[in-house]
Structure 1
Amino acid sequence: MTMNDPAIEIINVSAVSHRANAPALLFIHGAYAAAWCWNQGFMSYLAESGYDCYALSLRGHGGSGGHEVLSLASLDDFQRDIAKAIEQIARPVVLIGHSMGGFLAMRHARQHPVAGLACLAPVPPEGLIGSTLHLMCWHPALLLELNCVQYAGQAPQLSKLRDLLFSSDLPDERLLAFARQFQRESDRAILDLSMQAMSYLWTACQRPQCPSIVLGGGDDVLMPAHQIHSAACALGVRAEFISGVAHVMMLDMRWQRVAERLKVWLEAL
């Protein structure tokens, strides 16, 4: 099912001092989040390094339209939002996607030219099957909590939210502030991601023709190492893991380690 394309929110943090010929950076959030998650220090850090930074909220998220029909939004709908944001930026972009946003960034880069592709704790080309089985075997209580939040509309238990997404030393006040901004995700998009294994062999053969990097969190329980390696393999690069960082890499205690690695990679483009 397709929907009329709603207005999308794009947050911009301009470079403090522009680098010559530097591409713009377009940040794509993961499930349950919105553009705000990149604007807690991550975008400012890279803007200070000379890059114009943009973060979009996919339809039904954050300040974008489409909340009333979020449950029907598909991955294809989200892809159109990304294409619209790139069109508005109107210059070469490096896509930086987290989790579901990493999957969407890879998918876009397989179909359209981009200046670069950075995937942070991405859902790999085969979708959510590996992550779901991992949680089912090793963290069933966390999987149950995730399903209760998505399908029963329950507010997340803060202790389980920390265990699932963040490092153990994230202060309670920061965890609570983030929890208040998280939201439900599209049921259709989660179904789409869960069915990706059926088309995995086809998509894995379509390697993006651009410089790429894949970063995983050393303490990530939601997207374990074998999933990160799978995404890196599909892009023809080696996965890298940032120690002391959990799944929500741009908000976690040691997010600067992730931003610093991205900065070094961007400078080498």
Structure 2
Amino acid sequence: MLEVIDKGGPTATHITPLLFVHGAFHGAWCWDDHFLDYFADRGYRALALNLRGHGGSPSAVPINACGVFDYVQDVHTVAAELPVPPVVIGHSMGGFVVQKYLAVHDAPAGVLVASAPPTGIAPATVRVAWRHRRQSVRTRSFSRPLDFFAAPGVSRATFYHSATPEEIVTACTSRLGAESARVLYRDLLYRHLARPKRVTTPVLVLGAELDGFFTPREVAATARAYRTEPVMFPDMGHNMMLERGWESVADRIDQWLAATLS
């Protein structure tokens, strides 16, 4: 019963569908604003799911009881219903979910967009908490992470860069939803890290030079783990699919897919 936004359809040149996986606090909406129409217009079937407990996707347990393997299962549930295995594209936490998915499931290709590194998010968590330590101690950041990440100033500094128009930041911050503390503060910190050596799928690694979560050095390390080179975008923050200049990110994915799937 997962909620899925499904646009476009397979064409003679693009038989393989694209399945987009959102990051923490986000939902399928973050792909629907720009990317789904972009790829549908280019002849792809483009789908974005809401992971359980996000958007209109139900969860049988409170969201804090959901683990990263639950999210991996959600991706598999949607992928298994498609006529052919999809390319899986994940942002941030969703990129980590994609890494875990690719370690156990076949896919023609994978794309990591400002993704959490395979080694986990401990360094990023410490950086963000220290940078916003006043907000961190004032909110129930461990039991209700959204209280911290949606706090004034924190959302802009982590998801966007300083030149992003305020209307974009405000509109997107208003749509943030609850996220699993178990996923953020256990699974992605130390418990269930990714295993790149198990992934044989070709992977494209994209990063933003002004990312408030993951540094260019961490993006480069992620690319090395998947035996490739990173593609970095200047003047862009963490939410690469929503920032001004998102078209250049989509163009790069489109170009890479054309070469990889041919």
RMSD: 2.3
3-state secondary structure, aligned to 2:76: helix
Out of 10, 29, 40, the position equivalent to 2:4 is 10
Q: Distance in 2 between matches of 1:91 and 1:192?
A: 30
1:93-242, aligned counterparts within 5 Å?
93-135=86-128, 139-141=131-133, 144=136, 148=140, 151=143, 154=147, 156-190=150-184, 191-196=186-191, 203-206=195-198, 208-242=199-233
Q: Distance in 2 between matches of 1:19 and 1:224?
A: 39
Deviations 1:23-59, CA, capped at 9 Å, x for gaps: 1000000000111110001111111111110001100
- Aligned residues with identical type, % of pairs: 28
Deviations 1:97-130, CA, capped at 9 Å, x for gaps: 0011111111111111101000001111111112
Contact 2:3 2:49 in 1 (8 A): yes
Unpaired segments ≥5 residues, structure 2 = none
Q: Structure 1 residues 145, 121: CA separation in 2 closer, same or farther (over 3 Å shift)?
A: farther
Q: Distance in 1 between matches of 2:259 and 2:140?
A: 43
Q: Distance in 1 between matches of 2:244 and 2:152?
A: 16
Q: Structure 1 residues 229, 9: CA separation in 2 closer, same or farther (over 3 Å shift)?
A: same
Out of 248, 258, 262, the position equivalent to 1:267 is 258
Contact 1:8 1:64 in 2 (8 A): yes
Out of 79, 88, 104, the position equivalent to 2:81 is 88
3-state secondary structure, aligned to 2:6: strand
Q: TM-score, normalised by structure 1?
A: 0.87
Q: Distance in 1 between matches of 2:87 and 2:135?
A: 32
- Corresponding residue number in structure 2 for 1:75: 68
Q: Distance in 2 between matches of 1:146 and 1:178?
A: 23
Cα offset, 1:146, TM superposition = 10
Q: Distance in 1 between matches of 2:66 and 2:243?
A: 28
Contact 2:114 2:214 in 1 (8 A): yes
Q: Structure 1 residues 148, 162: CA separation in 2 closer, same or farther (over 3 Å shift)?
A: farther
Q: Distance in 1 between matches of 2:72 and 2:93?
A: 11
Q: TM-score, normalised by structure 2?
A: 0.89
Contact 2:68 2:187 in 1 (8 A): yes
Cα offset, 1:147, TM superposition = 6.5
3-state secondary structure, aligned to 1:181: coil
Q: Structure 1 residues 20, 132: CA separation in 2 closer, same or farther (over 3 Å shift)?
A: same
Cα offset, 1:82, TM superposition = 0.6
Contact 1:150 1:184 in 2 (8 A): no
Q: Distance in 2 between matches of 1:186 and 1:160?
A: 18
Residue correspondences, number? 257
Deviations 1:213-258, CA, capped at 9 Å, x for gaps: 0000111021111221222112111111011211011111221111
